[in-house]
Structure 1
Amino acid sequence: MATVNPPRGMRDFLPADKVRRERVLAVIRERYRAHGFDEIETPVVEEHGRLHAGIGGDNEKLSYSILRRGMDADAIRAAADDPAALSDLGLRYDLTVPLARFYATNRGHLPTVFRAIQIGPVWRAERPQKGRYRQFVQCDIDIIGDESARAEAELIVASLDTIDALGLSGGIVRVNDRRALEWMLDSFGFTEQERPGVLITIDKLDKIGPDGVAAELRERGVTASAVDAFEAFLTRPQTLEYNAYGERQIRKALPAGAPDDIVAHLVGLGDAVVAARPDAGEPPLQYDPFLVRGMGYYTGTIFELAHPSVGYSLGGGGRYDGMIGRFLGQQVPAVGFSIGFERIVDLVAEQETDAAQAVVLVHDADVPVTELLAHKAALLRDGAVARVRVERRPKNLKALLERSAADGYTGFSSVRAGQESGSIEVKPLS
């Protein structure tokens, strides 16, 4: 017998859960729009070749493909060793690749600097586990057409403002630059061919520590002298002085001789964020020279959103100037930030009940439907009540009222046959 559960890694949402999610999404949309971003929508399906063009990193391996229409068993067997022959479409695994295609398609109708909001479900063939799903919602903002640090600053400020509005103040954005990472690896002596694998190992630094990173690099067989130099840098003596985000913090975290233009870009980013959030004091930023982020399409600044209440990131993003050029044949600067909606929605505290009431009309069996609908219309008409649900009186009234309270209703009224419209009394549920 077929199971009645949803597919593994996918979920049903009960009414109370759906209300909670929509409330959080409404705040995210409102704050993003307040910062000048405009919402777009793209199909959940993209061409197979586009999703597997080498710009989606490891996510390409997790994509869901759609079998070509009209293939019979013989055709499927003949194409079994060629995924592109089996599938011409696939479910999107993120919102960045569809945005790049969207911009290439519609740029004639868009401003020179385009600020986009994209909110919607994506699909990845993950191994389901706590906090990791095969279908989940992404909330992205992107700026296309601005190569300056202003774009990164706008994204960071909008994202911090959004989590503040959700009651998660105190967020910090960890910042790095892929150009600084490349320069650092070059200064240690890693070859260009070794760097992708070295970055994979560096990304584990917070989990396995400097000794573990050095050991894994040696196991990879990369340049031994480069590993020695990197290990010496990781274990170098350091003073415990505190430095706020700025040039001193950045240069102290990097080997001597870091390129001035990259440092100036990062410093300017902090100055812009401070200017936008003057009441916050020092920048809510932290320079992390070993922040990698796994997507190979990043070309400059990268960042992750952290919060003191949890040990994992709540979002992140970076600059991906090369992606749109893959579709247009010309370079277009682009940078994006994605809030981890599924993680954030679990952290947002239950909010106070709205000032407007939500009322359940509990009626006797003999109340005519015309009277019930007249009572319902009267409650909605005066504006004091936002929602009205009609329920026939059960034997166990307490259970009905408890379920109604769990669904967000604030009051109830007992309705008898013959009552005048507008004369019913609303009692609180709690």
Structure 2
Amino acid sequence: MAPKKAPAKSPTRISGGAHASTSAGNGAARPAAKRPVNTARGYKRPERLEDGYIIEDKTGKKTWRVGPVIGQGGFADVYLVSDKASKPVTEGTAKHVMKLEPSDNGPLYQEVKFFKAAAKSDAIAAFLRERSIKSLGIMEYISSGVMEVNDKNLRWLILPRLDRNVQQILDECDGIFSRQCVILLALQLLDILEYIHKQGYAHADLKATNLMTGLSKTDASQVYLIDFGLVKRFMDDNKHIPYKEEPKAAHDGTLELTSTDAHKGAAPSRRGDLQILGFNLIKWLTGSLPWSDSTDPNFVRSQKITYFQNQSEFFRVAFPDGAPKEITDYFKAIRDLQYHDEPNYAKLREIFQKASKDVKARKSDLFATASAAQESVDSADSVPVPKKRATRSAAVALSIGTSEAPPAKRGRKPKA
């Protein structure tokens, strides 16, 4: 069914699942001119929507007005949107964003499935009550759908708007966070991962670029995990999926940070997410990992397996001046996890809660003292954060070639 025809000088109206006919002239909105963007290999880019498009959300019984593009990636565009369709969408008023992708791309399809199944407001509220915490870095699912624009099907997902990307903050700190900041991040991320895992999903791609701060002043010290394009359900009928290595899926995720399971082609799991978190914590503290300058996936895989088995050597190379106790304790706690094991999240939190007391860290100080260069050593047992160092020269010598790695793999395309 065709959408209602928009009057002159009014936004173009699109109904979810309906054909959207647009035309130039008479002030009607039309797709904006395409701009050169690096598109991920094997994927398509979405049609560009002009400021003022209207989407009729029949499921949520709302009308959304599309504003300006605020982000573009290899798969999708991100727009500001508002449920006040009669008013222009501006940076100052928009409280939501819309992610837009061709419907046959895999990443947004996976994200929509996750948010619809696991990020409803009642599920998040129940977890907050269970854990007696005030906030959690999981965006609440708002709405989603598929629409046709210029004979092309586009999938859209609307979520709450966030503020700063943690990678940008990290860059401002010369690539290294203070020990205090990393401890606070670890505590928040353990809560987030526990919630996701309780819903039966693994994220598989935790990293600074996939973390953002809350939009409001009261939420500025809360980080949110984003980009669920690699999310995988590891529970099937209340049973953990079996461990199985698939060569075609080997090295899925971000090469530098992905888990050893992912390198072997096994599906994401709880232990994999915790391992990825550990690699991030070390990178945030030191600026790099022993394998950071390698693009050879087989070399990186071997490095991770070797160092994970020989953790004392891992810490010696990563922290020449001595590793923080919370980092060594964390890696020891996750080292023997089996693929199907449920982690002891409370024990892992205790490691960082103790460390936070030692350095007198408060959640409100999350990024206030983020820079390692400004961090003061207040106690005798505080561990200095090492400066950035060379990576591959310090790595364990392995006889592996240096073939180029493929781009980071993403979610599979949806089945027809």
The interval holding the TM-score normalised by the smaller chain is: under 0.3
Taking structure 1 as the reference length, what is the TM-score of the superposition?
Answer: 0.23
If you compute each CA radius of gyration, which structure gives the higher value, 1 or 2? 1
Give TM-score scaled by structure 2 length: 0.23
Query: Which structure has more helix as a fraction of its residues?
Result: 1
